[in-house]
Structures are given as C-alpha cells and as structure tokens.
Copies of this chain bind each other. A is one copy, B any other.
Amino acid sequence: MSTVLIAGTGNIPFGKHPGRSVTSMACEAGLNALKDSGLAAADVRMGFFANALATKLFGDLTIGQNVFADLGMPGIPVMNVENACTSGSAAFYMACMAIRSGEVDSAMVIGSEKMCVPQLGLLSSGNSEIDTLLGMVTPASFAMRARRHMSEFGTTLEQMAMVSVKSRQHSAFNPIALFSKPVTVEEVLASPLIADPLTRLQSCPIADGASAIILCSEALGRRIGATVKVRACVLRSGTYANPQDLARWHTDYEGARLAYEQAGIGPGDLDVIECHDAFSIAEIMHYEALGLCPPGEGGRFVQSGAAGLGGAHPVNVSGGLLSRGHPVGATGVEQVVELVNQLRGRAGQRQVAGARVALAHCMGGDRAADAKSMTAVVLAL
C-alpha cells in the first residue's frame, strides 16, 4: 500500500462567525493550508468538501464546487460528503484512497460548518423524528450511556467532570478554541443540567468554523519535505453487535483494532490522541475502546492524570470538542490538523514533547444503540 503524507494544514478560529458563510470560512481555511504547504492552487488535484448541516439549515447544495473554484482550483474533481460528525474524517479517508489509487498525487480536504444560527433547532439522535420529539435528543442518549457506565463500572460524577476540567486546562493553550477559561470539578457539576447526569460543561458547544488539510503522495511529499505520514485510516459504519449495550460502542472497538493492525502499532505506542468527546462520558468510553485503559476503567484513567498533558497518553490536548467547539463538518478535519501540528512540533504551549505517533478518532450519527459512522486515523513521523 503506497504511503500518503500530509502536505499542509490550515484552519480558522472556532466560534461565532455571524458575518461569514460556509463557503467563505472554507476558503480561508483552504488558503491557510495552501500557504502552509508551499504548494500552488494548481498543484492540488482533487477536492473533498465535508459539511453536515448546510443543506438542512440553508438549503445549500453542491457547495464544494463553489469552494474549490473560489480557491482557484476550477476543473478538478470535487466531491461533497456528509457523514454526520465524521463528515470531515470520512472525507479524509476518501482523499487517502484517491491518492493510493494513483488517480491524483494531491488532494485537499476542507470541512466547514455554520451552526450558530437561530434555525439550528434540535439535533436528532433517535432512530426517527418521533424519537427526537419525544426527547431522545443527542444529550439524552449520551446521558443514558453515562448512567449505565456509572452503574456497571462505578464511574463517578466527579470523574466525568474531570474530563471537562482537563479539556479547559488544554484549550487555554489553543488559540482557535472557543472556550479557554479554566473550570473546576465543582463548577462543572454545578453548571446547568442538560440531561441527567450530564451538565452543560460536559456537553460540547456548537460553533462555526473550518479546517483544511492537503494530502499528497510519497513522491510529492518528498519533493516538498512533508514529514507526517498517514499510517492507518479506517472508516466503519455501525453494527448491531451490542444493540442493548449502552456502556460500549462495538464499532469503536472494532475500528480501533483495525487501525492498530493497519499501522502495525498498539495503543501503548500513541504519544497523543484526539477523540470525539461530544460529552464527557464519550471521552471516557473512547479511552476504553482505543485500549488506553481496560474496559470500564475510563473514569479512573482520567482521574489518574494519564490523559492530561504530561500524562502517559494525552487525549484532546487541543481542548477537544468540549472546549474547542464542534462545528460538525470541520471537527473531523481539525482533529487531524491538531495532530499534524503536534507531530511537527508547533503546538505551542500544548505541545506534547517528542510526539511521533498520533491517533485521531471520530464518531458520528446514531442508529439503534450504535454510532452510524466511526473513523480512526494514525499519523506518524
């Protein structure tokens, strides 16, 4: 299998951008990635545009072609992809395949999302709209998982709150993060209850934002001095393996296993990890699925400090979804952007010293008791 490298990355701050369109945010992130790579627009041979909500919210269709034309790349093959929260990482997966197939030697992936609008409304989580209207909104389904995890493994409210505390400790050092003010366990638990036992500070905030990555072939990568390699890239959709089991996502375990197999590594080799911490309990469950700790030990893992900067396996040193904010289509791209910055040693005060191997994990959508989609990307120097 031929090697794919990262040629460059770019983003814009995540937050409220009332004056910006999905396209304009995407173009700025794309231009930043171009600048970072040293490539010209004409060097980018394929475009992937990831967005989850613009069609639903604004009726926008076929946006990517506008974005890449505005970036000065008319004519190239362009694809619009939607895979809920994994839209960006699934687009990254497709871009890897495009290069490995020999179709092109470079491709740009842009994720852009605009959510801070009045018409956002309820984001569904149940299998049908009726489920959603009856209350099975996204926070509710995670709250059920949290209660189950507490009951089955003795995970505590305090341990869950520690995920949010750690998140803010990290995001204080991330200039694109939406929230950077430190919080305490007491403040997290005292913040308004969203869905018992999850409070507001344990729930990721919506945001506007965009991120971009240019991938390239080994030959092109050598020419431009690219150093970060894609060692594994996995996309899985949900299964029915454990439809009643709220305390573990089978797809999460299976996707992680495949990624480690592809990369020829184990969880012990990871220097830095970004995972899909949509809610505090989610990060705890992802620790377990990724093998950073045994199943059921996620609460105690975060309590031990192992997941913090300076710990054995720093997770979400960017601040993650909880503090960086979660512009859905951009998130899966930004996770990889963060890790590329880490591996290139330019993550400023949140730098994991000597990071050489990194994993980005993302998950999206709901179907039965599983996620609809899961991705895992292993990057290495």
A372 at interface (Cβ–Cβ under 8 A)? Answer: yes
Q: Using known A-B contacts A1-B102, A83-B62, A100-B103, determine if residue A238 contacts B74 with beta carbons closer than 8 Å.
A: yes
Q: How far is the CA of A81 from the CA of B65 in the complex (A)?
A: 13
A236 touches B62 (CB 8 A): no
With most chain B CB atoms within 10 A of its CB, the pick from A62, A68, A75, A234 is: A62
B237 touches A373 (CB 8 A): no
Q: How far is the CB of A74 from chain B (nearest CB, A)?
A: 4
Q: Using known A-B contacts A62-B373, A372-B65, determine if residue A236 contacts B97 with beta carbons closer than 8 Å.
A: no
Q: How far is the CB of A93 from chain B (nearest CB, A)?
A: 7
B82 touches A62 (CB 8 A): yes
Question: SS class of chain A's interface: helix, strand, loop or mixed?
Answer: mixed
Of the listed stretches A28-36, A51-59, A319-327, chain B binds A51-59
Q: A62-B83, A74-B237, A101-B101 are in contact. List 18 more A-B contacts (CB 8 A).
A: A55-B56, A62-B82, A62-B84, A62-B364, A62-B365, A65-B367, A66-B372, A69-B367, A75-B239, A77-B235, A77-B236, A77-B237, A78-B83, A78-B235, A81-B82, A82-B82, A96-B101, A100-B101
A-B contact pairs, 27 of them (CB 8 A): A52-B61, A56-B56, A59-B129, A61-B84, A61-B365, A62-B84, A62-B365, A65-B238, A65-B367, A65-B372, A65-B373, A69-B238, A69-B240, A75-B236, A75-B238, A75-B239, A75-B251, A77-B90, A77-B93, A77-B234, A78-B83, A78-B373, A81-B81, A81-B82, A97-B98, A98-B101, A100-B101
